[in-house]
């Protein structure tokens, strides 16, 4: 059986350093390179810590909760990979919760917190959650970190405004001038995407269309397109606030006899593998969700260890435009 002494010998550090890495303590100073070397030695030696003894000693379970709005949303696939990978680095495990199932009448949150099941909680889009659930989460001393800009908790976010800028600038460069913005709901991320769109339109000397905040999912996209077509100047292109709504935009366009991209160009924010298999394949702005998951877990473990956390936006990598077939240059008129 591999011991901490074996790891220390392989990594060329003291047992105290190995213990500090395992326990997430901060009184032992070390560089990131040293920490990485210890983690690599643990992996090479297939070290399996005695979690039961460790939990008793530290009064921790080693488990964190990740609570998302609609776990079946494919946008979360990369986020989950990042969360699982980073939690594994810390020797922890992840409990998933769906905010759709967590209403004020549910006992899930009470059981989650009162029984000492988790050491910390990651949330995203807390404005979409039941108010009573959020109040109960905040009433307990467990650290909470938000994977989105948040006024109430420490947070790590992605550059949603930049995503709106990239999508809109791409369409402007394709000579579109009547561009609508579809989907989303009240909330920081969705407002920021619209603000990015608004900024690019204004810089091009154009009047931004109102935010058609029709919600999420395929039906929201279809409803949003029908609303956009009722605007005083019907759009030749749309930016779709969330990628699954772009599926609904394509379906509604087909039902209405509108050819994509020849009569309507479509760009979605976020990207999932499904988008390249649609016809036309959907041009999208890929967001750094994997990196968001990683950064969120590392920040949460810092909070759990009693360290301060400076909230901020991930800037590397920045949102990336993935050009496919759903957008084309506007023909000269």
- How many degrees, rounded to 5, is the angle at CA 194 between CA 192 and CA 195? 60
Helix or strand or coil: residue 204?
coil
Beta-carbon contacts of 58 under 8 Å, excluding residues fewer than 6 positions away, are: 23
C-alpha 98/C-alpha 221 separation (Å) is: 23
Pairing of strands 120-123, 211-212: unpaired
Which residues is 156 bridged to in the sheet?
312
- Residue 82: its pLDDT value, please? 96
- How many degrees, rounded to 5, is the angle at CA 319 between CA 315 and CA 323? 160
Radius of gyration from C-alpha coordinates of the chain = 23
C-alpha 87/C-alpha 299 separation (Å) is: 11
Q: Is the pTM of this model over 0.75?
A: yes
CA distances from 158 to 96, 134, 148, 261 (A): 21, 22, 7, 29
What are the pLDDT tens digits along the chain (333 aa)?
A: 788 888 999 999 988 888 778 766 655 677 878 888 988 888 888 887 655 445 434 445 678 989 888 888 899 999 999 999 999 988 889 988 887 776 655 566 666 665 567 889 999 876 656 667 667 776 777 898 999 988 888 999 999 999 999 999 999 999 999 999 999 887 667 889 999 999 999 999 999 999 999 988 899 999 999 999 999 999 999 999 999 999 999 999 999 999 999 999 999 999 999 899 999 999 999 999 999 999 999 999 999 988 888 899 998 999 999 999 999 999 865
Q: SS in 3 state form for 144-155?
A: EEECCCCCCCCE
CA distances from 310 to 5, 19, 148, 156, 314 (A): 34, 26, 13, 9, 12
Helix count and strand count (H, E) for the chain: 12, 12
- Residue 56: its pLDDT value, please? 39
- Residue 105: its pLDDT value, please? 52
Among 65, 80, 191, smallest CA distance to 127 is for: 191
- Residue 70: its pLDDT value, please? 82
Q: Are 185 and 213 in contact (CB under 8 A)?
A: yes
Pairing of strands 211-212, 265-269: unpaired
- Residue 45: its pLDDT value, please? 87
């Amino acid at each position: 059986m591999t011991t901490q002494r074996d790891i220390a010998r392989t990594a060329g550090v003291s047992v105290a350093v190995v213990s500090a890495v395992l326990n997430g303590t901060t009184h032992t100073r070390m560089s990131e390179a040293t920490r990485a070397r210890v983690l690599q030695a643990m992996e090479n030696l297939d070290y399996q810590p005695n979690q039961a003894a460790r939990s008793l000693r530290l009064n921790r379970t080693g488990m964190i909760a990740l609570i998302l709005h609609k776990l079946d949303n494919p946008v979360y696939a990369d986020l989950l990979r990042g969360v699982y990978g980073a939690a594994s680095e810390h020797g922890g495990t992840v409990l998933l919760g769906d905010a759709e199932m967590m209403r004020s009448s549910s006992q899930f949150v009470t059981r989650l917190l009162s029984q000492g099941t988790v050491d910390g909680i990651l949330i995203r889009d807390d404005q979409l959650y039941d108010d009573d659930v959020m109040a109960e989460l905040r009433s307990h001393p467990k650290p909470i970190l938000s994977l989105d800009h948040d006024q109430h908790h420490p947070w790590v976010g992605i550059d949603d405004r930049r995503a709106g800028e990239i999508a809109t600038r791409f369409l402007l460069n394709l000579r579109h001038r009547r561009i609508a913005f579809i989907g989303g709901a009240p909330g920081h991320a969705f407002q920021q995407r619209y603000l990015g769109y608004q900024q690019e339109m204004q810089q091009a000397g154009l009047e931004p269309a109102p935010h058609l905040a029709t919600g999420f999912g395929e039906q929201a996209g279809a409803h949003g397109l029908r609303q956009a077509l009722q605007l005083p100047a019907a759009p030749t292109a749309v930016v779709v606030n969330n990628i699954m709504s772009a599926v609904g935009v394509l379906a509604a366009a087909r039902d209405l006899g509108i050819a994509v991209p020849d009569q309507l160009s479509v760009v979605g924010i976020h990207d999932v593998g499904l988008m390249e298999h649609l016809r036309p394949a959907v041009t999208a702005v890929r967001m750094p969700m994997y990196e968001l998951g990683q950064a969120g877990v590392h920040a949460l473990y810092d909070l759990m260890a009693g360290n301060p956390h400076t909230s901020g936006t991930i800037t590397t990598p920045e949102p990336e435009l993935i050009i496919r077939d759903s957008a084309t240059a506007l023909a000269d008129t």
